[in-house]
Structure 1
Amino acid sequence: MLVFSAQNLVLFSVPKTGSTAMEVALKPWADIAFYKQRKHTPVGRYQRKIAPFLREAYQLEPETMAVMRAPIEHLRSWYRYRAATLEVDFDGFVQAVLSASPPEWAKIGSQLNFLTGPTGALGIDHLFAYESQPVLRNWLSARMGADITFRPMNVSPPAPTPISDETEALFNSRYAKEIALYQQVTAAGGHLARAA
């Protein structure tokens, strides 16, 4: 997570959405940077702890931004990241993620839960589709007043990720709300801006 005072903006680092590359590119403009265990601070914790601190200590009430990935591609990214240590194929990985008691290697969280507050409402003012990189970079370049580019970082090695129709149907059912949110972002041209 990065906080930019001059730009009145907070960047959330959603896991597996290119957050490290974004942080490296944007760090020169950041006043506050959260790393290690606090790098991936979700919206709920931000609203409870960090937003009040920024308001009281610095009189900041910044806009928020984040990037989300197509939900099935988000799982593919997690699988490629962990594939070298797993003995299951991608289909088995998805089934483990969806199981009632996922093993440790399948506990990957949810983009939807990360991006929403305790009431379930979206807590992001500017939500971008990972798959719409030019839209994201152009917006950030305008906001920062500089040409923003990302260098690939933490890229996982390739791994096959076939999925059965049955598993995909179950995934689509369980992740229906997250999929619907992502579809809203893509329908908005890759940048879903919350109405003021």
Structure 2
Amino acid sequence: MLVFSKQRLILLSVPKTGTTAYETALAPLASIVVSAPPELKHAPVFRYNRFFRQMIERFIGEDAEIVAVMREPVSWLGSWYRYRQRASLDGQANSTRGISFDDFVTAYCKGESPSFAQVGSQAKFLEPQRNGTRVTHLFRYEDQTGFRAFLEKRLATSIETSWQNQSPSVPLDLSSGTETRLRRKYAADFTLWQGITGGGQYTPQSPRPKSNAKE
């Protein structure tokens, strides 16, 4: 996560959406750089709201805007699957080595997914909060030109990026039955991604009912 105080802009880092490359390039311009631990670097909207928002609004202003990137859901899962194929995870519970992409997605759709398929949800990551805290500008991962142009204009700089955390190239075959199940269970993710238009405009989903469960 990066905070640009003069521009009143916060860049959230949705995992597996290529934002690490932008954070690397833009960190020197940021007032606050949150690069670790992963739970804070990749703080979702609800965690930003809980731990960062009051401080940022007090010292930067309540009109600060939040920008994020979302990836097409099947492609996003494919990136997670490939990432967990890397040799350094061999023998660990979250490794996908020896597991097909179809089996990975099937496991992801279960009520209690095994460790290798626990990757969360982009819709949940980006979910608006009941107090109105939400992403202001949401870009598709596939629209790198639009996302880059937005940042360059807001930050008054040119951006040069290089690919970070590249994953192995492996087949991503998905049966029609598995994809249908995925689209049904994670309909919110597909609806949100499809609702993103040019310039980072989108239709935010409604916040979920408040629960008593702790984070």
Query: So what's the TM-score if we normalise by structure 2?
Result: 0.84
Equivalent residue letter for 2:6? A
Q: 1 CA distance for matches of 2:23 and 2:109? A: 30
Q: Deviation at 1:96?
A: 0.7
| Residue from 61, 82, 89 that aligns with 1:80 | 82
1:92/1:192 CA distance change after superposition, 3 Å: same
| Residue from 145, 164, 188 that aligns with 1:153 | 164
Q: 1 CA distance for matches of 2:185 and 2:79? A: 18
The match for 2:198 is 189
Q: 2 CA distance for matches of 1:25 and 1:192? A: 24
Q: Deviation at 1:189?
A: 2.4
Q: 1 CA distance for matches of 2:57 and 2:131? A: 23
The match for 1:48 is 50
Provide Cα deviations, 1:10-67, integer angstroms capped at 9, x if missing partner: 00000000121010111121000112221001101111221111223x1433100000
| Residue from 80, 102, 107 that aligns with 2:118 | 107
Equivalent residue letter for 2:201? L
Equivalent residue letter for 2:117? A
1:3/1:122 CA distance change after superposition, 3 Å: closer
1:81/1:46 CA distance change after superposition, 3 Å: same
Equivalent residue letter for 1:42? P
**1:1-196 mapped onto 2 (5 Å cutoff):** 1-37=1-37, 38-56=40-58, 58-61=59-62, 62-84=64-86, 85-86=95-96, 87-119=98-130, 123-185=134-196, 188-189=197-198, 191-192=200-201
Q: Say whether the 8 Å CA contact 2:49–2:133 is kept in structure 1.
A: no
Provide Cα deviations, 1:119-160, integer angstroms capped at 9, x if missing partner: 497810000000000000111111111111321111101011
Two-structure CA RMSD over aligned residues (Å): 1.9
Q: Say whether the 8 Å CA contact 1:14–1:111 is kept in structure 2.
A: yes
Q: 1 CA distance for matches of 2:99 and 2:118? A: 15
Q: Say whether the 8 Å CA contact 2:2–2:32 is kept in structure 1.
A: yes
Tell me how many residue pairs correspond in the alignment: 192
Q: Say whether the 8 Å CA contact 2:8–2:60 is kept in structure 1.
A: no
Provide Cα deviations, 1:74-95, integer angstroms capped at 9, x if missing partner: 0000000012442210000001
Q: Percent identity?
A: 41
Q: 2 CA distance for matches of 1:23 and 1:76? A: 22
1:59/1:25 CA distance change after superposition, 3 Å: closer
Unaligned runs of 5+ in 1: none
1:54/1:120 CA distance change after superposition, 3 Å: closer
